[in-house]
Structure 1
Amino acid sequence: MGDDAPNAGTQTHYLNKEEEFRVEVKIGTSVKVTLTDGTAEIFGAELPKGTPVTLPGGKHAVFSWHGATIDVLGATELEYVARDTPMTQYLNLDGVLEERRKAAAAAGAAGDDGFASDGPRVALVGPTDVGKSSIAKILTNYAVRKQWAPLFVDLDLGQGGITCPATIGAVPVDRPIDAEEGVPLEMPLVYFAGDTSPGNNPDLYRYLVERMAAMLDARHASNPAARAAGVVINTMGWVEGQGYKLLLHALDALKVDNVVVVGQERLHSELTRDFRGKRVGGDVPGEGTPVRVWKLNKSGGVVERSPEFRRRCRDQKIREYFYGAPGAELQPHSQTLPFGQVSIFKVGGGPRAPATALPIGQQSSSDPLRVTTVAPSMSLLNSVLAVSHGRSNADLLSSNVAGFIFVTEVDMRNGRFTFVSPSAGELPSRNLLAGSLKWIEMP
């Protein structure tokens, strides 16, 4: 079935060996997919036979290695079966990573604390709209299916692959990432940058990446199983100029030893040049694991997304954080507090002034890493605020966040505001971080 027109009702699709059913679902809606015969997977997660699986708005691909029959219930914007896919490339890469994990686990079991006990740290890199996040999910799910629990890291501020946009995050994955529920969120480590583009405060982005890298190193040092399972990293799509420098910094900070370039020859050439002879994980020069730069084809189902589509995806991601995926319809908790019971801060204020231009002992008010107080105002309306784990002003920059609230009303006359939280009860902290992230809730 390859109609471009929207489809409704139940449609049956037959997949032959190594074919892929590609479907686009309107943002804010969903369809149900049921595997009725054979075997199939979505982003590397196996589809259960006979059980409907909800696909939320967006682009999805159901792949079968051996053939399958699937039923699709609901209206789609586009659906077709593709015979030419890069899934064999992805499977071959998984095989290489699996050998590294086995070697790391064996070295750890033998009591070898050297670099050989490190599992692979693989990063998916490339421009926007090449399918990096999809491949990251596939590699993560393939590892989970082999009983590993790798760490999934998302460095794309604009996408919000783990919680909300304007964040970077990491989470251990011990069960498959499915299309309906997304990344498991039992123990996420999330840092709030406050903006969907790292270019608006690159110093803060670098700092948060370094902070996350330090936390990952500490976790792996105390958890041999996690160390052997390795890390799968999804990166942002800004790969030119300053974006390329930020990418190099992130790869270095996170000690990435497998750089996987998707869909761009130029980027592959640049990274091959810059990582030639480089090793990570060793204590002295010449030790450690050599950095390998791979090249993968992007899927033919990946298409360029318009700025409007990206904005709708960000809005949907925020909505899902508070209300759940379409069909789940969680009931968030609304609460009103006096401004005096919370402290609101922001990080950064533009380019840093040269130290020589300031009076002795004075700090620039536009230091990109400076934490400043935000005065209550109507500008907070519709803001998504992060609830920081930081207990003092000094802790706010380096602390991860517990979650997010959404400001629905600002009452300046009575000095209070109303917000929505995904759970009831007291906020885990009264220290809130503001940025430029806003969301207008549509009825």
Structure 2
Amino acid sequence: MASDGDDGIAVQTFTLEQEQELRVETPARGEIKLKLVDGTAEVFGAEIAVGQSITCVSGRKLAVFTYHGATIEVRGEVEIAYVAGETPMVSYANTHSVLNAKRVAAASENSSEAEGPRVMCVGPTDVGKSTVCSILCNYATRAGHAPLYVDLDLGQGAVTVPGTICAAPIDAQIDLEEGIPLEMPLVYFYGDLTVNNPDYYKHIVSRLGTMLDERSKANEEARAAGCVVNTMGWIDGVGLELLLHAREALKIDHVLVIGQERLFGQLQQKLKGTDCQVFRLQKSGGVVERTPEYRRASRDRMFKEYFYGATGELAPASQTAYFSKISIYRIGGGPRAPTSALPIGQAPSTDPMRVTPVVPSTSLLHSVLAVSHGKTQGDLLTSNVAGFIYITEVNMMQKSFTYLSPCPGELPSNVLLSGNLKWLGEDVK
């Protein structure tokens, strides 16, 4: 039922029956508000309180699901809003039950060998992998556990800016407006949106796996809670090789294949004889294919949210750094061996793990650089990053650059990592 409110804003009311889902897509510009009028409902596994309003900004998509029935009010102009009777949410809840049983068993055992589930969602692009990860994390927190959310998808940036591999503990329901919490993320900088250096990507994932193991040994609750891993949509050739490497490096024992039977069959065959179980989950009918423009806008939004906050509540600091006071490096590149040392007819290749100094130039303009915890050039391959800065101006006469930082004050380190991340920021002057 549609009408206009007292303030002239369009209002629609939807009545959902048991196990139905309201799917809402917002227009490219503008925002809407959803409110639970009565009943019980959740968004991606996060419960909504009666009377609670959720703001959905431009370009976002939400699915409000109810197990028992609910009435939802939508305020604002929507791209599309409809009630769906067929939804895989029950199968996702059943998957959570299987995973939670392992968490409970691991928590009840005193042995340090008893591990909680380490689950990885895989599948092609646009099948809802990140949504399933959010649902499983939210269900886990509602059951009293705090799993680690691991994001291996370079192009998305679910935890922080795109071009990174990240992990963050989820000890409360993921905020429907602000997303995954950034209080204690572990972030490794890859520096690109696609994997053009598979060796370095594998190195970072292996490093993350080592940190995950150390965390499990040091914290019994973390060991029992396990982790939920989101992956890229690259599943063929080298992409499949990277998935299998991540499965081994992170010691994944549950692989959830979404949206493709072929990949399900491949993984069943390749993981036969291991302690890893492979399950197939249905793709939600609400998942739609994202255009390149939509993906670009989503990445820009993640960069903007890092510096300005999800609702623009942050005021990033603009500061100046001199070339003489900082060191910038890039990982990958440089000759591996001279031609004379190679077999006849073989061309020299680049060293994917070489750390190369970067000479500051105007090419840094609009770059997003990582502030590394590494203090020396040798530390950079194994160090995570403290955060990111955005270059707004390069002055070659003064040999300096101006940058945005999420907070004022000196940088945690003067060692910076450069990649291919560019962002044409808004209102940065």
- TM-score for both structures, normalised by structure 1: 0.91
Judged with a 3 Å threshold, the aligned counterparts in structure 2 of structure 1 residues 428 and 212 are, in CA distance, closer, same or farther, namely same
Q: Structure 1 residue 403 and structure 2 residue 387: aligned? A: yes
Match of 2:283 among 298, 322, 329: 298
Judged with a 3 Å threshold, the aligned counterparts in structure 2 of structure 1 residues 423 and 138 are, in CA distance, closer, same or farther, namely same
Of 338-347 and 126-135, deviating more is 338-347
Match of 2:415 among 418, 427, 431: 431
Q: Structure 1 residue 268 and structure 2 residue 269: aligned? A: no
CA distance in 2, matches of 1:183, 1:351: 40
Contact 2:258/2:281 (<8 A) preserved: yes
Match of 1:238 among 229, 234, 238: 234
Contact 1:15/1:67 (<8 A) preserved: yes
Match of 1:194 among 191, 194, 209: 191
- The DSSP-based 3-state class of the residue aligned with 1:179 is coil
Contact 1:8/1:76 (<8 A) preserved: no
Q: Post-superposition shift, 1:195?
A: 0.4
Judged with a 3 Å threshold, the aligned counterparts in structure 2 of structure 1 residues 351 and 220 are, in CA distance, closer, same or farther, namely farther
**In the TM superposition, what whole-angstrom CA distance separates every residue of 1:35-71 from its partner, at most 9, and x where no partner exists?**
1111111110001221222223322111111111122
Q: Which residue number in structure 2 is paired with residue 75 of structure 1?
A: 77
CA distance in 1, matches of 2:9, 2:265: 45
CA distance in 1, matches of 2:339, 2:208: 28
Q: Which residue number in structure 2 is paired with residue 281 of structure 1?
A: none
CA distance in 2, matches of 1:246, 1:138: 24
Q: Post-superposition shift, 1:404?
A: 0.6
Q: Which residue number in structure 1 is paired with residue 5 of structure 2?
A: none
Structure 1 residue runs without a partner (length 5+): 279-289
Contact 1:27/1:313 (<8 A) preserved: no
1:210-359 to structure 2, matched below 5 A, reads 210-278=206-274, 290-325=275-310, 327-349=311-333, 357=341
Q: Post-superposition shift, 1:26?
A: 3.7
Q: Post-superposition shift, 1:212?
A: 0.3
CA distance in 2, matches of 1:374, 1:96: 49
Contact 1:19/1:85 (<8 A) preserved: yes
1:76-95 to structure 2, matched below 5 A, reads 76-95=78-97
CA distance in 1, matches of 2:335, 2:271: 30
Of 51-60 and 371-380, deviating more is 51-60
CA distance in 1, matches of 2:329, 2:371: 10
Judged with a 3 Å threshold, the aligned counterparts in structure 2 of structure 1 residues 356 and 173 are, in CA distance, closer, same or farther, namely farther
CA distance in 2, matches of 1:81, 1:148: 31
Q: Post-superposition shift, 1:356?
A: 7.1
CA distance in 2, matches of 1:385, 1:419: 10
Contact 2:334/2:356 (<8 A) preserved: no
CA distance in 1, matches of 2:10, 2:208: 46
CA distance in 1, matches of 2:150, 2:132: 13
CA distance in 2, matches of 1:60, 1:87: 14
CA distance in 2, matches of 1:191, 1:230: 20
Contact 2:334/2:354 (<8 A) preserved: no
Match of 1:61 among 50, 60, 63: 63
- Counterpart amino acid of 1:297? Q
CA distance in 1, matches of 2:335, 2:356: 15
CA distance in 1, matches of 2:134, 2:115: 21
Among all aligned residue pairs of Structure 1 and Structure 2, give the percentage whose two residues are the same amino acid. Answer: 56
Q: Which residue number in structure 1 is paired with residue 199 of structure 2?
A: 203
Q: How many residues are aligned here?
A: 417
CA distance in 1, matches of 2:308, 2:29: 12
Judged with a 3 Å threshold, the aligned counterparts in structure 2 of structure 1 residues 351 and 302 are, in CA distance, closer, same or farther, namely farther
- Counterpart amino acid of 1:23? V
Judged with a 3 Å threshold, the aligned counterparts in structure 2 of structure 1 residues 208 and 75 are, in CA distance, closer, same or farther, namely same
Contact 1:404/1:421 (<8 A) preserved: yes
CA distance in 2, matches of 1:178, 1:106: 29
- Counterpart amino acid of 2:198? P
Structure 2 residue runs without a partner (length 5+): 3-7
CA distance in 2, matches of 1:25, 1:228: 38
Q: Which residue number in structure 2 is paired with residue 161 of structure 1?
A: 158
**In the TM superposition, what whole-angstrom CA distance separates every residue of 1:120-164 from its partner, at most 9, and x where no partner exists?**
000000000000000000000000001100111000000011000
CA distance in 2, matches of 1:383, 1:351: 25
- The DSSP-based 3-state class of the residue aligned with 2:412 is coil
Q: Post-superposition shift, 1:357?
A: 3.1
CA distance in 1, matches of 2:335, 2:291: 30
1:14-53 to structure 2, matched below 5 A, reads 14-26=15-27, 29-53=30-54
Q: Structure 1 residue 113 and structure 2 residue 112: aligned? A: yes
**In the TM superposition, what whole-angstrom CA distance separates every residue of 1:194-253 from its partner, at most 9, and x where no partner exists?**
00111x111110000000000000010111110001110001100001100011000110
Calculate the aligned-residue CA RMSD, in Å.
Answer: 1.9
Q: Which residue number in structure 2 is paired with residue 419 of structure 1?
A: 403
CA distance in 2, matches of 1:74, 1:368: 50
CA distance in 1, matches of 2:47, 2:74: 16
Judged with a 3 Å threshold, the aligned counterparts in structure 2 of structure 1 residues 354 and 243 are, in CA distance, closer, same or farther, namely farther
- The DSSP-based 3-state class of the residue aligned with 1:213 is helix
- The DSSP-based 3-state class of the residue aligned with 1:375 is coil
Contact 2:335/2:349 (<8 A) preserved: no
- The DSSP-based 3-state class of the residue aligned with 1:133 is helix
CA distance in 1, matches of 2:231, 2:171: 21
Judged with a 3 Å threshold, the aligned counterparts in structure 2 of structure 1 residues 295 and 351 are, in CA distance, closer, same or farther, namely farther
